Amino acid sequence: MATFIVLLGPPGAGKGTQAQIISRSMNLPHISTGDLFRENIKNLTELGKEAQTYMNQGQLVPDSLTISMVKERLSRSDCVNGALLDGFPRTSAQAEAFDRMLLETFKSKVDCVPCIEVEADHLIERLCGRWMCPNGHVFHTKFNPPKESGVCDICGSALYQRDDDKIQTVSRRIAVYEAQTAPLIQYYENQNVLYRIDGSQEIDSVSADILDVLKKFAKK
């Protein structure tokens, strides 16, 4: 049966950082809706043009666009054994649509939701010091510096700072998370699949805690 893991947590909690590690260790494709939107923006697609206006304001892209993009991504052959979702679902409507999608297409359900928790002050420091590569690999000037400044350790691409990592947009994104995404904690608690992770620890300790949770769930 396919395995679906959802990484939940506010902007800057470390979803992308952890997804890189966990997807390798679980051998599941890493699906980040933020990365998919950024790829569309780079390729000047219609979806990218529409998404960009919302993203630059720190708002969520409308559910209908997001859900159909994820549906298309999950239909690709690398998802037959499941996937690790990062940044999706982010609203109750997306969570309900995702449950329906998994049931209809995979006869499956969300198996495990590690929720990475970090205080708001730390989130701002993390996002304002973040550098990324176009392939979604994530670094931080202080907490996770690349070996060579401005160059991705993993694929050698040039690193850049995201447009939505400006202080005003970061604060808006955190508020949007609290209003629209935090209610999913209760949604997944009700399904008995939510595990709270202390995201204020060092990157390796956070990964170890998530992998521990995933091992427990695998034994269930």
Cite the active site residues. 15, 90, 130, 162, 173
Touching ligand AP5, residues 58-117 (CB under 6 A)? 58-61, 66, 87-88, 90, 94
Give the total of residues touching ligand AP5 (CB under 6 A). 38
- Sheet strands side by side (includes 30-32): 3-7, 82-86, 30-32
Binding status of residue 40 toward ligand AP5 by CB under 6 A: no
Query: Hunting for tokens 């708001």 — which residue is that?
Result: 120
Who's near 55: CB < 8 A, 6+ residues apart?
A: 34, 37, 41, 61, 163, 164
Compute the C-alpha angle 85/108/3, nearest 5°. Answer: 45
β 82-86/3-7 pair status = parallel
Half-sphere exposure of 85 (CA within 13 A, CB side): 30
Q: Which stretch binds ligand AP5 (CB under 6 A): 12-20, 42-50, 151-159, 189-197?
A: 12-20
67 contact choice in ligand AP5, Mg ion, none (CB below 5 to 8 Å, kind-dependent): none
1/198 with CB nearer ligand AP5: 198
Footprint on this chain of ligand AP5 (rule: CB under 6 A): 9, 11-17, 32-34, 37, 54-55, 58-61, 66, 87-88, 90, 94, 126-127, 129-130, 138-140, 143-144, 164, 173, 199, 202-203, 206
